[in-house]
Amino acid sequence: MKKIRILLAALLATVGAAAQNPSSYFMEGSTFRSQLNPAFAPQRGYVNFPVLGGIQVGMSGNISLDKIFYPRDGKLVTLLDSSVSAAEALSGLKDKNLLGADTRINVIGFGAYTKNRKNFWSFDLNVRVNAEANIPYSLFDFIKNGQEGRISDIGVISDSYLEAAFSYSFPLLDDRLYVGVRGKFLAGIVRAKSNFNRFDVSLNEDRWAVEADGSLDISAAGLEATTEMNDSGEMVYTFDDIDFKPTSPTGYGFAVDLGATYDILPDLQASLAINDLGFIGWGKGNTLSGRSVKNMEFTGVTVDGEGTSSQPDFNLDVLEFQKQEASSATRMLRATVNAGLEYKMWQNRASVGLLYTMRFWEYKTLHNITGSVNFRPIDWFHLTGSYTVIGNNGGALGLALNLCPGWINFFVATDVLMAKHTPQWIPIRQSSMNVTLGLGFPIGKRGHRGCRDYLR
């Protein structure tokens, strides 16, 4: 049981949601806009500060974050911690609890306008880390209460890769239409996926019985698993037997972002983008595959006169995986659709925007709608306030600031600053948390599109 708690606690602590911060979509001075729609371009060319040029991290799911993390004695613990009672931990959970992550770190980034100051190109080298988990209520009930039952659909998937991207955008139809394309070469570092279709737990007089049916696939450089023969004559391994050293790519792929903006009226612009359309092919030479179909019994249970049982001393070592023949695998990226509508006012000193986002996750498709109010009182100061409706799981209030004078471009956005939160800045009654930070240096002349055209 201890190792199950450790595994799930690590998962809950590290997994979060798509880090594309919607507050930056309508912020014209930000270099991040083109990550959401390749047809967008900043006011000027830029060179990002290495690593600090673009950091996007976030957390999200279909339950509020204060139902996962709890403050205890000045620290932040997960709901699996012994200091969190079973009643408290289980009160905010759903039948299926979904968590996910999409973290992006820009290692190198630069871009510039061409001579006509309308076409824009850029190059970015990013580190991407994605993770996603589907954890049923019944599993938490077993861990916190020792409650028997049918447990199914336990799924965890994660991948990390390097992304080298080149984008180009240009005008059509007398500058009313802008089209942008970003091509991405991908180098996979680590991929892991584990699914248990069945993990049924039953309680007898003095022992627990578990019937498990699951699979495990991992791809990484230097991947090794120490196997041994079990009582049935099968070559098996456990989680503790797996080791890898991801020092080189183990898969390669390609993806594209496609985007467009169209001026319906001089002050009304519609935009549409489809991002991360692509795949990574993972080679079988560095892939480990396993299958776990096992009936297990273990003791360490005490049942009192009222039928209440103690929790067993159960750990993940009993979950054996029979080594399977490895094969190459092609995995699609998690695509995102962004559709926006913006109306500009007061000679583009302010605007209101509406953004619809659809994200295709492994276990579920998520839908968000963001309304924003954007202020540009002076040419180098941009401020955005937004509110995002996150499916049927509440909302999040966002705030973004972009400073773009002639010598620096600084951008920060978050949806936790205005929210009620714990001392550790975990928002209460909110199912998402995003922070985006960027620092770069402007280069070249201003483009003939985007922010404050009336001044040029």
- CATH code for the domain of 303: 2.40.160
Question: Total domain count for the chain?
Answer: 1
Cα separation, 378 vs 365, in Å, equals 39
Look at strands 365-378 and 177-203 and give their pairing: unpaired
Q: Are strands 321-324 and 235-237 parallel, antiparallel or unpaired?
A: antiparallel
- Give the model confidence (pLDDT) of 268-314 as tens digits: 999 999 999 999 999 888 888 888 877 766 655 454 444 444 555 55
Given a cut of 60, is residue 33 above it in pLDDT? yes
**Helix, coil or strand: residue 324:** strand
Tell me the mean pLDDT in the region 254-260.
Answer: 98
- Determine the residue type at 401: L
Q: d(Cα 34, Cα 45) in Å, to the nearest integer?
A: 12
Tell me the mean pLDDT in the region 312-318.
53
Read off the pLDDT of residues 378-422 as tens digits, 9 standing for 90 and up. Answer: 888 999 999 888 766 667 788 999 998 888 999 998 877 666 666
Rounded CA-CA distance 69/84 in Å is: 10
Range of the domain at 269: 2-455
Name the pTM for this structure. 0.86
Token digits of residue 424: 């550790």
Give me the chain's average pLDDT, please: 82
CB-CB neighbours of 197 under 10 Å = 12
Q: How far is CA 276 from CA 332, 407, 429, in A?
A: 9, 32, 30
> DSSP character for 118?
S
* Both structure tokens of 353: 């925007």
